């Protein structure tokens, strides 16, 4: 009886939404990594010219990361997981596209590395615990752990 209930439970994913907010944790990680890397450019035995080149390269990588949308979630304002395992990613202007989750998506502590694939493009998102509500975090963790196979083999 219980096994039948568990099998039927795993067949369909309960749909849920995640509305993304600003993340202090993600900002701290990005800015902290930039600051530490910038310090490391100057605390070494290289000559001043190489230290300056390393600093400029570090600043360029930071700007590339910032412009790449890591801190703004690539203009994705909302995620919607459907019962068939597909994801709708809603942009800040209200438009949406249909994606499937790639197998490289993982949860590492307070960070969620979500890799989405559509027919035409890929989107990689880094989410932190503080950009979602407690219910949204729980739903995302359950979906990624319990319904992982169904999410990975969804048809877009």
pLDDT digits 0-9 by tens, 76-123: 899 999 999 999 999 888 899 999 999 999 999 999 999 999 999 888
Residue 3, in any domain of the structure? no
Stretch 136-150: mean pLDDT: 92
DSSP 23: -
Confidence (pLDDT) at 12 = 79
Residue 10, in any domain of the structure? no
Residue 2, in any domain of the structure? no
Residue 35, in any domain of the structure? yes
Query: The domain containing residue 50 runs over which residues?
Result: 15-156
Q: 69 in the Ramachandran plot: left (φ > 0), alpha (ψ -120 to 50) or beta?
A: left
Confidence (pLDDT) at 71 = 63
* 34-66: b (≥16 Cβ within 10 Å) or e: beebeeebeeeeeeeeebeebbeebeeebeeee
Please give the distance of CA 70 from its chain centroid, rounded to a whole number.
8
- The number of domains in the chain is 1
Helix axes 24-42 and 48-67, enclosed angle (nearest 10) = 160
The chain-wide mean pLDDT, for the chain, equals 87
Residue 66, in any domain of the structure? yes
Confidence (pLDDT) at 11 = 65
Total-model pTM: 0.79
Stretch 43-58: mean pLDDT: 93
Residue 73, in any domain of the structure? yes
- Among 2-16, 59-73, 79-93, whose mean pLDDT is lowest? 2-16
Dihedral sign (CA 13, 19, 25, 26): positive
Return d(Cα 104, Cα 117) in angstroms, integer: 11
Residue 6, in any domain of the structure? no
Confidence (pLDDT) at 13 = 86
Confidence (pLDDT) at 155 = 83
Is residue 99 within 8 A of residue 116, CB to CB? The reply is: yes
Residue 7, in any domain of the structure? no
* N-terminal to C-terminal alpha carbon distance within the chain: 34
Confidence (pLDDT) at 48 = 94
């Amino acid at each position: 009886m219980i096994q039948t209930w568990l099998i039927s439970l795993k067949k369909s994913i309960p749909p849920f939404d995640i509305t993304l907010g600003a993340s202090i944790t993600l900002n701290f990680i990005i800015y902290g990594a930039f600051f530490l890397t910038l310090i490391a450019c100057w605390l070494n035995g290289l000559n001043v010219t190489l230290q300056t080149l390393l600093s400029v390269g570090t600043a360029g990588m930071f700007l590339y990361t910032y412009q790449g949308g890591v801190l703004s979630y690539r203009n994705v304002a909302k995620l919607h997981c459907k019962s068939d395992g597909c994801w709708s990613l809603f942009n800040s202007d209200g438009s949406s596209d249909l994606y499937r989750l790639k197998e490289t998506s993982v949860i590492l502590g307070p960070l969620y590395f979500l890799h989405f694939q559509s027919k035409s493009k890929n989107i990689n998102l880094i989410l932190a615990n503080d950009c979602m509500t407690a219910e949204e975090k729980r739903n995302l963790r359950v979906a990624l752990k319990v319904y992982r196979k169904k999410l990975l083999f969804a048809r877009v």
